[in-house]
């Protein structure tokens, strides 16, 4: 099975900061990598699909990049409503796998 390593596990940043999260796959997954935001007490929400495609209605400050085994997720200018846990997710061989999550807090 493909393992997903997401880092950091937690992150503290200031409003307006640029924030980057990484996700590394144990094998080449092409660009089949998605990113989700989970606010406290809520269901996850799709932000980015296929590594770099912004889901409809998602603010443009969110972006994704990468292919193969190494992927990044970026918030260009952190807003208060971005406080959440972020997960990467891949699909391979009939199995969906999530990263461990990155908890983002305001400094």
Residues that bind another protein (CB under 8 A): 1, 30, 32, 34, 36, 42-46, 49-50, 55, 87, 89, 91, 94-101
The residue whose two tokens read 């099975």 is 1
Name the minimum Å distance from CB 95 to another protein: 7
Name the minimum Å distance from CB 11 to another protein: 16
By C-beta, is 18 or 59 nearer to another protein?
A: 59
Name the minimum Å distance from CB 69 to another protein: 16
- Per the CB < 8 A criterion, the answer to whether 86 and 71 are in contact is no
By C-beta, is 56 or 60 nearer to another protein?
A: 56
Closest CA to 89 of 54, 49, 30: 49
Distance, CA of 13 to CA of 83 (rounded, Å): 10
Neighbouring CB atoms inside 10 A of 62's CB total 19
Neighbouring CB atoms inside 10 A of 11's CB total 17
By C-beta, is 17 or 45 nearer to another protein?
A: 45
């Amino acid at each position: 099975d493909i393992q997903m390593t997401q880092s950091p596990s937690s992150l503290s940043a200031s409003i307006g900061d640029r924030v980057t999260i990484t996700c590394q796959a144990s094998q080449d997954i092409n660009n089949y990598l998605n990113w989700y935001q989970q606010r406290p007490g809520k269901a996850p929400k799709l932000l980015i699909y296929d590594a770099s495609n912004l889901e409809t209605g998602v603010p443009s400050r969110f972006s994704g990049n990468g292919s193969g085994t190494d992927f990044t997720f970026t918030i260009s200018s952190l807003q208060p409503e971005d406080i959440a846990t972020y997960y990467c997710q891949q699909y391979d061989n009939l199995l969906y796998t999530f990263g461990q999550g990155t908890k983002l807090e305001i400094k």
